[in-house]
Amino acid sequence: MLAEPLGSLPSSPWIAIVPLIAVLPAVLCMLDISRHPHTRLLPPQVWLAVCVCGNIVGLFAYLRFGRSQDR
């Protein structure tokens, strides 16, 4: 059988670190939007959805097109 019991999975600190690295950009983007709600092109709620749904691509899109230039 292909499925192994959960107890036989390798234990490594990377198993916990890799998901955090994947989620961190979206969290930082959401914090920036919540602290500075004045955005360009789209309302902040839409930028939040873009950052949540398109993790890395959403982050770069917000930083390039959504973040206001006055800061």
**Residues 31, 10: Cα–Cα separation, whole Å:** 34
Q: Residue 47: is it exposed, middle or buried by C-beta count within 10 angstroms (0-12/13-18/19+)?
A: buried
pLDDT of residue 57: 83
Q: What is the pTM of this model?
A: 0.64
pLDDT of residue 63: 80
Residues in the chain: 71
pLDDT of residue 6: 61
What is the full per-residue pLDDT of the chain (71 aa) written as tens digits? 566 666 666 677 778 788 888 788 888 888 988 898 888 888 989 988 888 887 778 888 888 888 877 66
Strand partners, 26: none
**Residues 67, 9: Cα–Cα separation, whole Å:** 42
